[in-house]
Chains A and B, each alone.
Chain A
Amino acid sequence: MLNVTQNLVRATPRLARSASALVIAEHDNSSLAKATRHAVSAAAAVAGSDPVAVLVAGSNCSAVADAAAAIDGVSQVLVVDAPEVEHPIAENLAAAAAAAVEAHGFGTVAAAATVSGKNVIPRIGALLNAQPISEVVEVVSEDTFVRPIYAGNALATVKSSDPVKLMTVRATNFDAAPADGGSADIVAMDAPDFPLADKVKFVSAELSQSDRPDLASAPVVVSGGRGLKSGENFAMLEKLADLLGGAMGASRAAVDEGMVNNALQIGQTGLIVAPDLYIAVGISGAIQHLAGMKDSKVIVAINKDAEAPIFSVADYGLEGDLFQIVPELTEKIAAIKSAA
Chain B
Amino acid sequence: MAANGAFGRVLVGVKRVIDYAVKVRVKPDKSGVETVNVKHSLNPFCEIAVEEAVRMKEAGLATEVVAVCVGPKKAQENIRSALAMGADRGIHIETDEEVAPLNVARILAEVAKAEEPSMFILGKQAIDDDSNQTGQLLGGFLGWPQGTMASKIEPVSDTAVHVTREIDGGLETLELSLPAVVTADLRLNKPRFAALPNIMKAKRKKIDAKTPADFGVDMASSLQTLEVNEPPVREAGIMVGSVDELVEKLKGDGLI
A residues whose Cβ falls under 8 Å from a Cβ of B = 1-9, 87, 89-91, 94, 114-116, 118-127, 129-135, 144, 148-162, 195-196, 198-208, 216, 220, 244, 252, 255-256, 261-263, 268-269, 271, 276-277, 287-288, 294, 298-300, 311, 313-319, 325, 328-329, 332-333, 336-337
Contacts and interface: CB of A to CB of B under 8 A. Distances in A.
Given A5-B142, A133-B223, A294-B234, 13 more contacts: A1-B116, A90-B146, A91-B146, A119-B148, A149-B130, A153-B24, A154-B24, A155-B230, A205-B170, A263-B169, A287-B21, A318-B239, A328-B243
Contact of B168 (A94, A115, A127, A158): A115
Given A90-B136, A317-B240, A262 B187 contact: yes
Contacts of B180: 199
B188 to A, nearest CB: 11
Given A207-B169, A316-B250, A256 B226 contact: no
A123 B180 CA distance: 14
Interface string B124-156: 110111111111111111111110110100000
B113 interface: yes
Contacts of B26: 154
B162 interface: yes
Contacts, number: 268
B246 A318 contact: yes
A158 B221 CA distance: 11
B139 A315 contact: no
Interface in B205-256: 221-231, 234, 237-240, 242-244, 246-247, 249-251, 253, 255-256
B194 interface: no
Q: Return the 9 tightest CB-CB contacts between A and B, nearest first.
A: A126-B140, A5-B143, A122-B136, A122-B133, A207-B170, A200-B145, A315-B237, A203-B173, A199-B177
B71 interface: no
B176 to A, nearest CB: 5
A154 B230 contact: yes
Contacts of A201: 174-175
B82 interface: no
A271 B166 CA distance: 11
Contacts of A151: 127, 130
B102 interface: yes
B125 A269 contact: yes
Given A115-B149, A161-B224, A122 B168 contact: no
B142 A4 contact: yes
Nearest to B1: A1
A327 to B, nearest CB: 10
Interface string B164-193: 011111111111110110000111000000
A256 B176 contact: no
A132 B136 CA distance: 11
Contacts of A114: 168
A287 B247 contact: no
Given A5-B143, A269-B125, A336-B247, A205 B173 contact: yes
